[in-house]
A and B are shown apart, each in its own frame.
Chain A
Amino acid sequence: MTDVTDVTAAGAHVKAPAGGPPRAPARGGRPGHISGRPLWLMAPGAALLLLVVVVPLALAVWIGLVDLDQFTLRDWLGAPFIGFANYLEALQTGGLLHSIWVSTAFSVLTTVVIAPIGILAALTVHDPFRGRAIVRSVYLIPYVIPSFVTAVVWRLILQPDGALNSMLGVVGVEGGNWLIGPMAFWSLVLVDTWAAWAFVYLMTLAGLQTIPQDVYEAAAVDGTNWWQKLRFVVLPQLRGPLTLALLLSTLHHFNNFTLPFVLFGSPAPTEVNVLPLNIYTTSFQTFRFGLGAAMSILALVVLVIPAILYLRAVRLESGTGEER
């Protein structure tokens, strides 16, 4: 019910004082905006979300409560209801907690690494220079290469007699086994960093475009150096796009299936047995759809709570973060 108090914040955000608390509820407060509001614009999206996500999700919740496996698949509506037995099994066996930990570490770490790279990249191509268009395209190349191709290419690069070790050999460094053991985790972080930093870059670049020119000019007149300008003028302006980018990036990495799947196969080394792999193996390789659904839903809870807390912390929904 918390949203009742906050619900007007966005509508009023243009007028609210910077950083100020949400005003008292004044639903329908602004005449001329309430009448004829085209809420039907939301209908197609909402309908699709219902069909493609909400209904399947409801089905998945039900699957998590029944014993759906290869024996009951044919008559899946008649699968025996077993309550929370799948959840108990998920918690007791199958390394669910370990997978959640690996996925969390992987997704947070990757996001932390790609954020500065992406911001830096956007800054380097914000001001015009000869060949800027080419550089901008180059930056995007890793991002637009399909992820399984990325995985195959890096698999070949990282294999023991692959390109990385031969290049390390040239400079006299003994290469290692990058795809097994503890190094596998760092290889995954490296590959995902390579593939995903352009996401932060894109979000930052588009954010930079929306900063009015006079803000830059005002800062230039003040005689601040580049770091001060970046720290006190530009980054605050980017707060909205960046907080969103970091959150979405974390969630995407958490749910990245293709990359670890192609990079390490299944079953993956424990160090990189991320949650999506674990769920996929459980559901589709061992036919334990009920157990897989229970694992997914537990993971969902684990993921949603921090996401909501983060949202509240950065006040992204209400837009107060970007107010002036």
Chain B
Amino acid sequence: MLPRPLQVVSVVLLCAFALAPVAFMLISSVSPDVAVASGDLFPDELAFGNYVELWSTLQLANGLANSLVVSLSAAVLATAFAVGTAYCLVRFTFVGRRSFLRSLLGLQTIPSALLLLPLFVVFFSVDSYLGIQLVGTRTGMVITYLTFALPFATWVMVTYLRTIPLSLEEAGLIDGLTRFGVLWRIVVPLAFPGMVVATIFSFLLGWNDVLFASILSSPQTRTAAMQLSAFAQSQEGGAIPLYGQLMGASVVCAVPVVVLYLVFQRYLVGGLTSGGVKG
């Protein structure tokens, strides 16, 4: 698509831009804290012990497990709901369709801080009125992240479902598939690239959040992001923070997401060209 020299130069520059701060993070993660605090790029001694200590300092294993469960559930559910919603929005006309699309967008514009306290009140009310505990549970967080990911995921799916020719679906219907069968056997495989984007985004939303987790999580259900942010905030305490461990923990927290992406990457490549019906 691009001329070879332009492509090579672009790849090198983009990789350098993307990786330079990461390299700094990696170096810092094995540096003594004082060296990091004073901006020493190449410390005299390396502190690999940071990677050992951080597991006990942060109880990171527990946090990572919480983050994985919460973010994955939210991402998968959000994408599934989004496909259903988007399919209706794209293929059918009904009253309020356009308003619904618009209001989905409007939801993206709401500042999170605005909803923080009211959301707590609502969840708390559900707890005391219906007896379903949401505050402090993973369920509460899954519901929250799932919902906040939904508008975006739906929009992405709307955009991608539109590119799927109606004729394919009509053929499916003629072949005797039910409406749901068409969705499952024809639309979903074709929309896979969009679904991967929606999933990645939704996953990251839960993985990154610290604002809602601060009121919805309990110490047992605290996510890795929460643990890390708390750790990062300890720099205000008047003593030198454990920067080395903080950077090490950051590396540890980034790894699962990168791995997950690598797993899904081939589906991104697949897409329409691999075509057909996939099981």
Asked if the two chains touch in their complex, CB atoms less than 8 Å apart, one says: yes
| With known contacts A156-B28, A156-B36, A39–B94 Cβ distance under 8 A | yes
How many contacting A-B pairs (Cβ < 8 A)? 329
Smallest CB separation, A206 vs chain B (Å): 4
What chain A residues lie within 8 Å of B146 (beta carbons)? 48
Number of A residues near B (Cβ < 8 Å) is 123
Instruction: Decide: B117 and A209 in contact? CB cutoff 8 A.
Output: no
Smallest CB separation, B232 vs chain A (Å): 5
Q: Is B188 an interface residue (CB 8 A)?
A: no
Instruction: Decide: B84 and A41 in contact? CB cutoff 8 A.
Output: yes
Within 8 A of B (CB), among A235-279: 240-241, 244, 247-248, 251-252, 254-255, 257-258, 262, 265, 275-276, 279
Instruction: Decide: A37 and B179 in contact? CB cutoff 8 A.
Output: yes
Instruction: Decide: A39 and B88 in contact? CB cutoff 8 A.
Output: yes
User: Nearest CB to that of A280 among chain B residues?
Assistant: B113
Choose one: B89, B118, B236; the contact of A59 (CB below 8 Å): B118
Instruction: Decide: A146 and B228 in contact? CB cutoff 8 A.
Output: yes
Smallest CB separation, B265 vs chain A (Å): 6
Number of B residues near A (Cβ < 8 Å) is 111
What is the predominant secondary structure among interface residues of chain A facing chain B? helix
Question: Which of B3, B154, B232 has the largest count of A CB atoms less than 10 A from its CB?
Answer: B232
Choose one: B7, B21, B117, B201; the contact of A283 (CB below 8 Å): B117
Q: Is B239 an interface residue (CB 8 A)?
A: no
Convert A272-310 into 0s and 1s, putting 1 for each residue whose CB lies closer than 8 angstroms to a CB of B. 000110011001100001001100110110011001100
Q: Is B147 an interface residue (CB 8 A)?
A: yes
Instruction: Decide: B152 and A248 in contact? CB cutoff 8 A.
Output: yes
Q: Is B128 an interface residue (CB 8 A)?
A: no
| With known contacts A149-B250, A206-B194, A248–B200 Cβ distance under 8 A | no
What chain A residues lie within 8 Å of B197 (beta carbons)? 202-203, 206
Q: Is A117 an interface residue (CB 8 A)?
A: yes
Within 8 A of B (CB), among A34-61: 34, 36-39, 41-42, 44-46, 48-49, 51-53, 55-57, 59-60
Instruction: Decide: A289 and B117 in contact? CB cutoff 8 A.
Output: yes
Instruction: Decide: A53 and B107 in contact? CB cutoff 8 A.
Output: yes
Q: Is A186 an interface residue (CB 8 A)?
A: no
Choose one: A8, A11, A126, A247; the contact of B91 (CB below 8 Å): A11
Instruction: Decide: B110 and A57 in contact? CB cutoff 8 A.
Output: yes
What chain B residues lie within 8 Å of A38 (beta carbons)? 84, 87-88, 179-180, 183
Q: Which of A89-97, A159-167, A177-185 forms contacts with chain B?
A: A159-167
What chain A residues lie within 8 Å of B143 (beta carbons)? 48, 51-52
Instruction: Decide: B208 and A258 in contact? CB cutoff 8 A.
Output: yes
User: Nearest CB to that of B96 among chain A residues?
Assistant: A3
| With known contacts A144-B258, A152-B246, A258–B210 Cβ distance under 8 A | yes
Question: Which of A48, A194, A198 has the largest count of B CB atoms less than 10 A from its CB?
Answer: A48
Instruction: Decide: A52 and B21 in contact? CB cutoff 8 A.
Output: no
Q: Is B135 an interface residue (CB 8 A)?
A: no
Q: In the complex the two chains form, what is the Cα distance from A252 to B105 in whole Å? A: 11
Question: Which of A6, A141, A146 has the largest count of B CB atoms less than 10 A from its CB?
Answer: A146
Instruction: Decide: B254 and A145 in contact? CB cutoff 8 A.
Output: yes
Choose one: A52, A161, A229, A303; the contact of B39 (CB below 8 Å): A161
What chain B residues lie within 8 Å of A10 (beta carbons)? 89-90, 93, 97, 162
Instruction: Decide: A304 and B106 in contact? CB cutoff 8 A.
Output: yes
Instruction: Decide: A138 and B19 in contact? CB cutoff 8 A.
Output: yes
Choose one: A276, A293, A307, A318; the contact of B105 (CB below 8 Å): A307
User: Nearest CB to that of B247 among chain A residues?
Assistant: A153
Instruction: Decide: B107 and A49 in contact? CB cutoff 8 A.
Output: yes
Within 8 A of A (CB), among B38-57: 38-39, 41
Instruction: Decide: B261 and A163 in contact? CB cutoff 8 A.
Output: no
Q: In the complex the two chains form, what is the Cα distance from A165 to B155 in whole Å? A: 42
- Mind listing 9 A-B residue pairs with CB under 8 Å? A38-B180, A39-B94, A45-B81, A142-B22, A146-B228, A153-B21, A194-B21, A296-B113, A307-B109
Q: A38-B183, A210-B163 are in contact. List 7 more A-B contacts (CB 8 A).
A: A56-B118, A56-B121, A60-B114, A148-B210, A206-B268, A211-B272, A322-B163
Chain A residues near B (Cβ < 8 Å): 2-3, 6-8, 10-11, 13-14, 27-28, 32-34, 36-39, 41-42, 44-46, 48-49, 51-53, 55-57, 59-60, 63, 117, 120-121, 123-127, 133, 135-150, 152-154, 156-157, 159-163, 165-166, 194, 198-199, 202-203, 205-206, 209-213, 226, 229-230, 234, 240-241, 244, 247-248, 251-252, 254-255, 257-258, 262, 265, 275-276, 279-280, 283-284, 289, 292-293, 296-297, 299-300, 303-304, 307-308, 311, 316-319, 322
7 shortest interchain CB distances as A-B pairs: A41-B84, A56-B118, A3-B98, A209-B271, A296-B114, A59-B118, A52-B147
